[in-house]
Every structure is written in C-alpha cells, then in structure tokens.
C-alpha cells in the first residue's frame, strides 16, 4: 500500500517536473474555432491571483446558466436570456460576434481554457460537485456551439479529430426518403439543413437506438444528433479526467496554496450556502413538533412523523434528519435527549447508548474524524443513498410513488390542482420546482412568490421562518409546547 | 488441377439414424483422414499475416467427452497450422469452439493481469428455439423444411443489413448442425470492433424484447419507423417474388384464426375490412386480399395489371394508407423478423462453435451455406460425419489413387466439397480485404 502511494507520488512528481520543463505553449486554438474540447490542460505559468479571478468569473457564469436553465421554460427562451444575461458577464460567449480584436480573442480563449481547468480541479473532489460542474459546462458548450458559424465548426472538427463532413445536395437527394424518415422530418427540411456524415463507430449510442440513418458503416446526422455526439465525448473526457484529478489531489503538495483557494470556490458553489450548526438560532427538542408542521419541508416533516409513529429511524433517515436538526440549531444535548426519548419507547436505554448515541455524537463532530458535517443539500438527498421500501428518508418528490406523494400532499391540505402540478413537475425530474411550489402554496404565499428555487431543506426552513417573521417561535415557551405535545 | 470432381449416387432411401456411440471412432477418422478442411480453415484464421501475429494468439476450445460428461479445455493455442492439425488429429475433440485473438499467446499468457481479448469476428447466432412463439409446425429441437424458412428470412435480412448498413463484405453463414445458423463477419473492421460497438450493432438489429416487438427503438417518443425496418419488410415481401412469405403464412397457419390478426388491429375501419376478408374461406385468398389493401407494391402491380381493363380497375381498392401499411408491416415483422441472441454478439471473447465442427448428437457437420441459396439447403440432408467417411471409402475402392494426395484434400471427394467451396470464397474475401 505504502509502495503504491510512493510510486504514484513519484509518478506525479515526475509529471509535474515534465510539465515545468516543457516549453510553454499557447493551448487555446489558433484556428477559426472559438471552442475547445478541453482535452489538454494549459501548461503555462499563471499568477494565483489571475487563476482565482478567471475561475471565479467562470463559476459565476455557470451559476447563471443553472439559474436560466431552471427559470426558462423552453430552450429558445433560454437562448434569449443567455444572450441578455450571460454575454455581459462571460466573454467567451461573445467571441463569435464580429469586432473582437485578434489580441483580445487570444486572451479570451486562453481564459476560457484556464477557467475550465481551474474549476475542474475545484470541482473534482466530490461526485456531486463533478456532476454539477459537468452539467453546466455541457450546457455552456452546447450553447456556444450553436453560435458558431459552419466554417468554424469545420475547423473545430479538424482540430479535434472529429471525422465529419456534410453531405452535398446531390448526395442528400440520393437518399432523401431514408433521411427524412429516419428523423421524422419533411424532405424539404432535410434539403434545407446540413446533414453530417460520420463513422458509425463514433456514434454508437445513436446507432444502438436507431436514431440515425446508418448506411455503409456511416451515420448521417442532423444537427441535434451531431451535438449529442460531441457532447458525449466532452462529458466522457471531463468525467474521466476529473476522476483522475481527484486521485491526484491527495498527492500534490498544495495544502497551503491552491487547495484553500479551490475550497473557497466550491463553497457555496451549487447548493447556495452550506448549513452547519446554526449560528444565532436555537431550537429545543420540544419545539420540533410545532416547527415541523409550520416550517419543515416535506422530506423532513415526513421523517418527523415517521419517528413519532414508529419510535425509530433507520440510518439514512437519522443522518438526513439529524444533520438538518443540527443546522436549525438543535444542540447536541437536546438532540441526544430528543432521540433517546423517542427510541427508548421501543428499545431499552442501554441499547440506545450502545447503538445510537455514538452515531449522534459523530454527527456533531464529537467522534471519529471529528468532522463538522453540514446538512444534506437537495442534491445530496436526491443523488445519494436512495431509500429502500422501509426507509423514510430521501426526497418525497423524487422517491415516493405517485400515489404516496398524492396522499401526503392531500394530508398536507394542498389543493388538488396544485398537487397535480407538483406531480407533473416531479415526473419530469424537476423536484426543486415541485418543492418550491410546495413552499409557495402550503405557506399561503401564492404561486411565483418565491424568488429563488429550493435547493436545500434548510433553505426551505429559513425561508419559512423569514416569511412568518420568526416571532411565533419565540412566543411559545418550552412548557407550553411540552404540554401540548404531551396531550 | 490435380483432383477429380466426383459425382455421388443420390441416396434415394431414407437416411439411417446416426449412431452416437461410434462418434469417437468417426471423429478420429474425420480429422486424421483430412475430411476436415485443414488448409482453407487455417488459411482463414491466419488472415494472411504471420502466424505469430494472429493464428498463434487465437483461443481454441476443445470440448472432450469424459465418461459422458463434457469437459471444456479452454485457451488452447497453436504456433502454426501444422501444430494445430497434429493436435486436432491427436485429441479428436467432441466439439471445437473458436474464441478471440488475444494480446498474448492464450495458453501462456492467460494468467497475466493484462491478458485481454483484442479481436474476433463479429458473430450472430440465430436459433429456431427462439421462434417457438411464432413457429407452429414444430417445437423445441425438431426442425423441418417449414421451420427452415424462418432461417431463410433471417439470413436474407441479416445479409442485407450487414452489407447495406454496416458495409461489411466478408460474410459466412454456417449451419449449426441442428436448428440454427451462425453468421461470421470476417472484415478487418468487424474483427476490431469493441464490445460496446458490438452490442450497439446487435441492438440496432434487435426488434424484440422477449417476445414483444418494439419498432420505435428504445427511448423514442414519436412513432418513427426507421428506414432499415421498412427495408427489412421489403426484403421479406419480395423474397422469391413474394412466394416465401406467402408459403410461410399458409404453412404456419397465421391466417386460420381471425382473432390472431384482429387483436393487433386498432383501426376500426381496417378491423371491419379484415373481418370481411376472413369470410373468404381459403387462407391464400385472405393473404392476397390483405396484401392488396395494405401493401403498396402489391396494390401498384395489381393496378398495372388491370390498367387496360377499366371495368375491373374501378373495383380496385383505395391505395393503402399509412396506417394500413404500418399494420401489415408490424404483422409481418412480428412473425418473421429474426430473433437474434444478442449475448453471443456482444463479447469479443465469446466462444462459438467452429465451422466444420461435428454436432455430437446428430453427427451433422457445421457446414457453410450460400446466403443466396439458403432456401435450397435441406437440413435432413446435411453432410453427416458417418456418411462422409463412407463416401471416402467408396472413392478409395473405386480408384485406388495414391494415398498422399488423398489425405490433403480428402474433403473434395465427399459431399462436403460444395460447402468447402463456399467457405473458400469467404476466406478469399477476408484475405482480399487485408
């Protein structure tokens, strides 16, 4: 094991030296195309300051893309908003426009590549980060690709060894019927658009699904499928290189210099802010029931009622719920008492101490690695550790069956038309929108009242608290609540 | 040109059953007397490269019979054609399987961590077993001339797709010895395909999931019928001028029961028409009528026929609508489109029964067949190991030629000869492609 590490370390150091020794080169393409497949990392020296600035700018752009993608209903509207809102803050998007000076162009292309690779480093360290980053980058690439003129696309293909060319009008005419019926387009449409030819081996997924015309070992692609192919390769390159980078992270000696900077970048990256043990707010265990019905998102109030009903939580739910409670200000002592009171209704307190107390202290950073754990974001809840049938954690919009979700929402006194809308949203994987809608209608604020989307259960909680002014909680003393909960 | 083309007396009597207990004996003679066509066979697997570059890296698997149990001896490999022949004659295995070409000599390198299958022919396996839901003449392992027509259709379609869509040219179809056909694609490009390319190609050609047909392709919302599917339909409908499909419809009694056809018909107008068609008593006339209503080509040729007879022309039905055409296309393809065993095709390292191997239960030789003449192949008259040996003995008695030549090309004096010729043509194509 030790040997492995050593050999890996020495290989990486060798690589580093090699990079240092190699001649600086301008990595951005000099050709007509403004796009890069980002297959080769830049090898030039750059000041930390620039590194950070460029990365921060790109990150801002990616967040904007995420926002617009969620906000706009159709791709056309998305494109319009991108033009209005992204172009001013992100120069690489304006490269295709005329009037960019050659020097400027070089500079912008360089920043484009540096920014991309800087963020790869920053986002390679958890699968969720990587996923978020790849999604936004791909969206950005697609958008920029569509702005490129055909001549630039051809030079981009040549640069990146995509062996693709367009069909001539007469070639098209010779198999016009097949082309039209492969894509469900009219022959007129086929005549008027570019059809690209590529080796079938470069478009395997489209071949597999019979989404393209296949003839003599070649595939014939209309624009949409062409983009699919390129994006697939981009995604594959990014995923594998980021997985590799993640392995290397532990070995490069950058603890003091680069790593904190990268950390800063991802902090507050996609999930908005991190929710740790809350500052300035606290909650006692006796307030949880009333808080649950007033302020909690569906995922948490569900766990709360499961706990009251069954006096037990499985590991997934303990973790999801425990960290959430910690982040809304439940202290360790209160948490311990809270879970003990419930659990010991079914098991004796010895067993509780043995099996669960450690677990709870661990969440508060008092055991094991002694790490401060943050509450799970929606992304974590949705992407990781899906609940099995007897679990009660997860995201109801993602993990519940339609019938279950319906009855939960009904019990929540949501109007049936709103229920239908939420179910429709969850069906198209827009769980955040569904949850935001839930916030809007269940708290009586009306649709569209929420300015941002819900991406974190604790964000949901805080927004609710803000909306009610926070005063109701203070009005209740512990005694009153414990009385009511005892009844 | 030193051999003589022989004519065999046609055996008019019913073939006697194969004596399985004499198999070991037969096999030894089959290999040692050179009925197995060593020369073209090893030529094939060498692909005109140095033996060390290709032939030596190929995995062979011998399946031998040990007290009634099959023992698989995998990762056999041979330096050259000579060593292969010697070993095959010595062991005379029950069955011979072909594997992949590896990055190391299989018998030595298979324990290395980076031992990996690099190349192999692209293969397809069609087995009549998988047709049981649409095959009404026989069941399971039994095969008759009527069943064989499913194979005829499958070979025609596979041949069209591999050539037209993927651009392959070196194709070999081999009767598996019992109830199926294997297809070997020998083009260099096909041999180099990765596992994921193989599975993509195989899935492209697959229309069935279980017994359910899905024409739309996975994950597709709109009903877009891919042009390759339409072409497959045309291949079936025009084969032997429409006689093949007609025969199958009658022989498999697809038009006997009205509800078999009506249950898939969603269009009320068409349903009514079909009910009327089923009042005709003969299945032949039912089929003719359905084609006239739903198949564009039939309708056109009928109109052409009647163009000088205006009084009859006016009785011609409307030209088939898209919905009618789609109905017949689905009706035909769901019954006759080949059922491919995708798993065989997807792995580079998958073992497959070699051509000219003997089927131990039937004694049949796995013979190459001509894709253009599959319909002429009679399963019951497939060259059988015992009969081939008899043929050879007979020639010997008749001519008493020198022994040396005989061993080299013994197969040329038996009814295996035409099949070896088909095989040689395939080998030429693969080598010509290098």
Name the residue among B196, B224, B227 with its Cβ closest to that of A204.
Answer: B196
Identify which has the larger pLDDT, A257 or A94: A94
Q: How confident is the model at residue B3 (pLDDT cuts 50, 70, 90)?
A: very low
pLDDT attached to residue B4: 42
Tell me the pLDDT of chain B averaged across its residues: 90
Spatial separation of the C-alpha atoms in residues B226 and B206, rounded to whole Å: 12
Q: What is the model's pLDDT at position B431?
A: 85
Q: What would be the CATH architecture of the domain defined by B20-202+341-431? A: Alpha-Beta Complex (3.90)
- A214 interfacial to chain B (CB closer than 8 Å): yes
Percent of chain A surpassing pLDDT 90:
20
Residue to mutate among A182, A183, A214, with most B CBs inside 10 A, is: A214
The CA distances from residue A477 to A42, A474, B181, B210, in Å, are 61, 7, 82, 65
Class of domain A2-147+234-267: mainly alpha
- pLDDT band per the 50, 70, 90 thresholds, residue A484: very low
B303-330 mean pLDDT: 90
Among A214-218, A287-291, A307-311, B267-271, the range scoring the smallest mean pLDDT is A287-291
Residue A105: pLDDT over 90: no
Q: Beta strands B58-66 and A213-215: pairing type? A: unpaired
Interface membership of A209 toward B (CB under 8 Å): yes
Other Cβ atoms within 10 Å of B182 Cβ, number: 24
Mean pLDDT of A125-143: 88
Is B264 catalytic? The answer is no
Q: What would the mean pLDDT of A136-155 be, rounded to a whole number? A: 90
Q: What is the pLDDT of residue A128?
A: 76
Query: Where exactly are the structural domains of chain A?
Result: 2-147+234-267, 158-229, 285-486
The residue of A204, A215, A216 whose CB has the most chain B CBs within 10 angstroms, and thus the best one to mutate to test that interface, is: A204
Name the pLDDT band for A448 (thresholds 50, 70, 90). confident
Catalytic residue among B85, B97, B121, B125: B125
3-class state of residue A199 by DSSP: strand
What is the residue-averaged pLDDT of chain A?
Answer: 82
pLDDT of residue A261: 75
Query: Does A161 contact B at CB distance below 8 Å?
Result: no
- Alpha-carbon gap: A227 to the closest alpha carbon of chain B (Å): 18
What pLDDT does residue B310 have?
87
The contacts of residue A210 (CB under 8 Å, 6+ apart) are B204, B217, B220, B226, B228, B229
| Spatial distance between the Cα atoms of B224 and B235, rounded to a whole number of angstroms | 19
**B216 has a pLDDT exceeding 70:** no
ipTM of predicted complex: 0.89
Q: What is the Cα Rg of chain B in Å? A: 25
Report pLDDT digits (tens) over A344-398: 888 888 888 888 888 888 888 887 777 778 888 888 888 778 888 888 899 999 8
Please judge whether A182 and B227 are an interchain contact, meaning their C-beta atoms are less than 8 angstroms apart. Answer: yes
Nearest to A181 among B189, B218, B225 (CB): B225
**Which of A219, A59, A82, A216 is closest to A142 using CA atoms?**
A82
**A486 assigned ligand-binding residue:** no
pLDDT in tens, A220-255: 998 888 998 999 889 999 999 998 888 777 676 666
With a CB cutoff of 8 Å and minimum separation 6, the contacts of A359 are: A315, A318, A322
Identify the pLDDT of residue B375. Answer: 94
Task: Determine which of B122-126, B161-165, B392-396, B423-427 has the lowest per-residue pLDDT on average.
Answer: B392-396
Number of neighbours of residue B413 by Cβ within 10 angstroms: 24
Residue B14, pLDDT > 90, answer no
Rounded distance between C-alpha atoms, residue B381 and residue B416, angstroms: 11
Task: Give B16 to chain A, closest Cα distance, Å.
Answer: 47
pLDDT of A271 strictly over 60: no
Q: Which residue has the higher pLDDT, A266 or A312?
A: A312
pLDDT of B119 = 96
Mean pLDDT calculated for residue range B68-86: 94
A14 pLDDT above the threshold of 80: no
Active site residue B127: yes
Higher pLDDT, B366 or A415: B366
Residue A140: predicted pLDDT = 95
A479 compared with A21, residue with greater pLDDT: A21
Distance from CA of A211 to the nearest CA of B (A): 8
Is B130 one of the catalytic residues?
Answer: no
How far apart (Å, rounded) are the C-alpha atoms in residues A268 and A246?
20
**Domain residue limits, chain B:** 20-202+341-431, 214-336
* pLDDT at position B15 over 70: no
Report whether pLDDT(A24) > 80: no
pLDDT in tens, B132-182: 999 999 887 788 999 999 999 999 999 999 999 999 999 999 999 988 999
Mean pLDDT of A55-59: 90
Pure H helices in A250-374: 258-266, 288-295, 298-310, 315-327, 332-343, 349-352, 358-363
**A299 marked as part of a ligand binding site:** yes
- Predicted confidence band at B51 (pLDDT cuts at 50, 70, 90)? very high
A454 compared with B374, residue with greater pLDDT: B374
Q: Considering chain B, what percentage of its residues have pLDDT values greater than 70?
A: 92
Instruction: Specify whether the CB–CB gap between A249 and A124 falls below 8 A.
Output: yes
Residue range A286-311: average pLDDT? 89
């Amino acid at each position: 094991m030790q040997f492995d590490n050593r050999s890996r370390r020495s290989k990486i150091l060798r690589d580093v030296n090699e990079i240092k020794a190699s001649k600086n080169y301008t990595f951005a393409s000099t050709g007509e195309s403004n796009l890069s497949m980002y297959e080769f990392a830049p090898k030039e020296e750059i000041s930390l300051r620039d590194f950070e600035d460029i990365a921060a700018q790109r990150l801002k752009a990616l967040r904007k893309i995420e926002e617009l993608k969620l906000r706009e209903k159709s791709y056309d509207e998305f494109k319009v908003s991108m033009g209005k809102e992204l172009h001013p803050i992100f120069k690489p998007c304006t490269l295709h426009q005329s009037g960019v000076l050659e020097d400027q162009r070089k500079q912008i292309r360089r920043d484009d590549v540096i920014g991309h690779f800087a963020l790869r480093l920053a986002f390679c360290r958890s699968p969720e980060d990587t996923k978020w980053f790849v999604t936004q980058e791909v969206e950005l690439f697609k958008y920029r690709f569509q702005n490129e003129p055909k001549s630039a696309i051809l030079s981009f293909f040549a640069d990146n060894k995509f062996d693709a060319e367009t069909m001539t009008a007469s070639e098209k005419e010779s198999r016009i019927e097949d082309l039209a019926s492969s894509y469900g387009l009219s022959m007129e449409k086929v005549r008027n658009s570019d059809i690209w030819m590529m080796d079938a081996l470069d478009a395997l997924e489209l071949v597999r699904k019979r989404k393209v015309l296949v003839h003599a070992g070649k595939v014939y692609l209309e624009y949409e499928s062409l983009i699919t192919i390129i994006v697939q390769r981009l995604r594959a390159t990014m995923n594998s290189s980021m997985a590799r980078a993640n392995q290397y992270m532990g070995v490069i000696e950058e603890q003091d210099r680069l790593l904190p900077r990268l950390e800063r970048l991802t902090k507050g990256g996609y999930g908005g802010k991190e929710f740790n043990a809350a500052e300035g707010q606290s909650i006692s265990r006796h307030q949880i029931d009333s808080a649950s019905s007033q302020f909690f998102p569906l995922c948490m109030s569900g766990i709360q009622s499961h706990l009251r009903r069954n006096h037990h939580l499985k590991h997934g739910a303990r973790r999801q719920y425990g960290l959430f409670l910690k982040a809304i200000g439940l202290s360790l002592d209160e948490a311990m008492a809270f879970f003990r009171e419930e659990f010991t209704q079914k098991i004796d307190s010895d067993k509780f101490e043995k099996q669960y107390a450690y677990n709870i202290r661990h969440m508060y950073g008092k055991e094991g690695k002694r790490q401060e754990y943050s509450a799970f974001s929606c992304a974590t809840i949705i992407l990781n550790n899906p609940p099995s049938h007897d679990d009660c954690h997860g995201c109801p919009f993602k993990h519940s069956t339609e019938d279950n979700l319906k009855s939960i929402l009904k019990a929540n006194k949501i109007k049936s038309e709103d229920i239908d809308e939420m179910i429709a949203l969850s069906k198209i994987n827009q769980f955040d929108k569904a949850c935001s809608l839930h916030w809007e209608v269940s708290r009586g604020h009306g649709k569209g009242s929420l300015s941002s989307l819900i991406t974190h259960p604790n964000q949901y909680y805080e927004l609710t608290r803000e909306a009610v002014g926070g005063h109701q909680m203070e009005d209740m003393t512990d005694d009153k609540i414990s009385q009511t909960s005892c009844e | 040109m030193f051999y003589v083309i022989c004519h065999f007396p046609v055996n008019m009597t019913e073939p006697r059953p194969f004596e399985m207990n004499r198999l070991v004996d037969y096999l030894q003679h089959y290999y040692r007397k050179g009925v197995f066509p060593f020369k073209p066979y090893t030529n094939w697997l060498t692909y005109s490269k140095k033996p060390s570059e290709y032939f030596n890296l190929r995995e062979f698997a011998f399946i031998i019979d040990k007290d009634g149990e099959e023992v698989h001896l995998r990762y056999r490999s041979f330096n050259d054609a000579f060593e292969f022949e010697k070993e095959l004659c010595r062991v005379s295995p029950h069955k011979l399987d072909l594997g992949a070409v590896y990055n190391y000599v299989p018998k030595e390198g298979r324990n290395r961590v980076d031992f990996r299958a690099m190349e192999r022919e692209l293969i397809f396996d069609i087995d009549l077993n998988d047709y049981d839901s649409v095959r009404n003449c026989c069941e399971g392992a039994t095969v008759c001339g009527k069943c064989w027509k499913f194979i005829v259709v499958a070979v025609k379609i596979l041949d069209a797709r591999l050539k037209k869509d993927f651009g392959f040219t070196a194709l070999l179809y081999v009767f598996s010895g019992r109830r199926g056909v294997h297809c070997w694609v020998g083009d260099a490009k096909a041999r180099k395909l990765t596992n994921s390319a193989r599975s993509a190609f195989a899935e492209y050609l697959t229309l069935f999931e279980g017994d359910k047909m899905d024409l739309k392709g996975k994950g597709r919302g709109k009903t877009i019928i891919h042009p390759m599917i339409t072409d497959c339909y045309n291949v079936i409908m025009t084969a032997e001028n429409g006689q093949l499909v007609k025969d199958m419809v009658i022989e498999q009694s697809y038009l006997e029961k009205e509800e078999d056809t009506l249950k898939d018909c969603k269009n009320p107008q068409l349903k009514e028409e079909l009910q009327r068609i089923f009042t005709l008593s003969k299945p032949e006339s039912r089929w003719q009528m359905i084609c006239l209503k739903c198949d564009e080509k039939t309708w056109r040729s009928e109109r052409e026929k009647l163009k000088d007879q205006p009084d009859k022309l006016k009785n011609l039905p409307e030209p088939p609508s898209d919905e009618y055409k789609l109905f017949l296309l689905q009706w035909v393809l769901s019954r006759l489109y080949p059922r491919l065993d995708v798993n065989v095709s997807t792995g580079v390292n998958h073992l497959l029964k070699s051509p000219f191997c003997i089927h131990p239960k039937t004694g049949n030789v796995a013979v190459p067949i001509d894709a253009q003449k599959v319909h002429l192949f009679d399963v019951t008259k497939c060259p059988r190991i015992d009969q081939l040996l008899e043929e050879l003995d007979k020639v010997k008695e008749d001519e008493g030629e020198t022994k040396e030549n005989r061993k080299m090309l013994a197969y040329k004096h038996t009814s295996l000869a035409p099949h070896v010729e088909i095989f040689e043509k395939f080998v030429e194509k693969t080598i010509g492609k290098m």
